[in-house]
Chains A and B, each alone.
Chain A
Amino acid sequence: EPEVTQTPSHQVTQMGQEVILRCVPISNHLYFYWYRQILGQKVEFLVSFYNNEISEKSEIFDDQFSVERPDGSNFTLKIRSTKLEDSAMYFCASARTGNDQPQHFGDGTRLSIL
């Protein structure tokens, strides 16, 4: 069964450094999402992306964050200058269409900021 793949599985970065998290969504999916989960807390929405544009973003997704679909298969989340509070699991999700089809999640990237 097709799945969403994310790399790396664990990223350790010094505070203030830039980090790029990578995702390969399911191939025929058109909607792409990033969520994060701080340890012990809810899964929180960051941003959705469709047709090379951001569809919706949360308050968390400030100017330090950006997303890009650099080619036909990858979907990336960039954090420009990481903070300690950015430490979390970051999940990529994709859906074939809008909300009438469910979102499928990858296994996440654990981001640790030192």
Chain B
Amino acid sequence: QKEVEQDPGPLSVPEGAIVSLNCTYSNSAFQYFMWYRQYSRKGPELLMYTYSSGNKEDGRFTAQVDKSSKYISLFIRDSQPSDSATYLCAMGFNQAGTALIFGKGTTLSVSS
């Protein structure tokens, strides 16, 4: 089973808020975990990339992976109107050239 579940939202927050986005999955074989941002009529843009469990921080973005709970999160601090987009989680296996499995995406709107 390759399912990845993600609440589609929409999620609306005021500028400066902390945003928490989450995905759950069922296949324990996933080893790579990614967050992509997608603006309307654009392709997925890589935000964060994590191997196995743990945390990774990049500026205002923090990605967390909890493999024991099969749960990943993306936190956005000090959210900006420019963060308004759809956020896609994606997961991959530890085998070269194989598919990424995507969640449906969460639509985020940050109001000024």
- Quick one: which of B46, B95, B98 has the most chain A CB within 10 A? B98
- Given the complex of chains A and B, what is the CA–CA distance between A4 and B45 in angstroms? 11
Chain B residues, Cβ within 8 Å of A45: 99-101
Chain A 40-83 against B: per-residue CB contact (8 Å), 1 yes, 0 no?
Answer: 01111100111000011010000000000000000000000000
- Quick one: which of A31, A44, A99, A103 has the most chain B CB within 10 A? A99
Chain B 84-105 against A: per-residue CB contact (8 Å), 1 yes, 0 no?
Answer: 0000101011111111111111
Q: How many A-B residue pairs have C-beta atoms within 8 angstroms? Tell me.
A: 73
- Once the chains bind, are A104 and B92 in contact (CB under 8 Å)? no
- Given the complex of chains A and B, what is the CA–CA distance between A35 and B99 in angstroms? 9
> Which residues of B (57-112) have their CB < 8 Å from a CB of A?
88, 90, 92-105
Q: Which of B32, B41, B43 lies in contact with A99, CB distance below 8 A? A: B32
Name the distance in Å between A32's Cβ and chain B's nearest Cβ.
Answer: 9
Q: A42-B104, A99-B93 are in contact. Are A105 and B99 (CB under 8 A)?
A: no
Chain B residues, Cβ within 8 Å of A56: 97-99
- Once the chains bind, are A105 and B49 in contact (CB under 8 Å)? no
Number of B positions contacting A (CB below 8 A) = 28
Name the distance in Å between A109's Cβ and chain B's nearest Cβ.
Answer: 10
Chain A 83-114 against B: per-residue CB contact (8 Å), 1 yes, 0 no?
Answer: 00000000100000111101111111010000
18 pairs of residues in contact across A and B, judged by CB atoms under 8 Å: A31-B96, A33-B99, A33-B100, A45-B100, A48-B98, A48-B99, A49-B97, A50-B96, A55-B98, A56-B97, A56-B99, A97-B96, A102-B32, A102-B46, A104-B46, A107-B41, A108-B42, A108-B43
Q: Which residues in B have some Cβ–Cβ distance to A below 8 Å?
A: 31-32, 34, 36, 41-46, 49, 51, 88, 90, 92-105
- List the 6 closest pairs (A to B, CB-CB), nearest first: A98-B96, A55-B97, A45-B99, A105-B43, A43-B102, A107-B43
Q: Which residues in A have some Cβ–Cβ distance to B below 8 Å?
A: 4, 6, 31, 33, 35, 41-45, 48-50, 55-56, 58, 91, 97-100, 102-108, 110
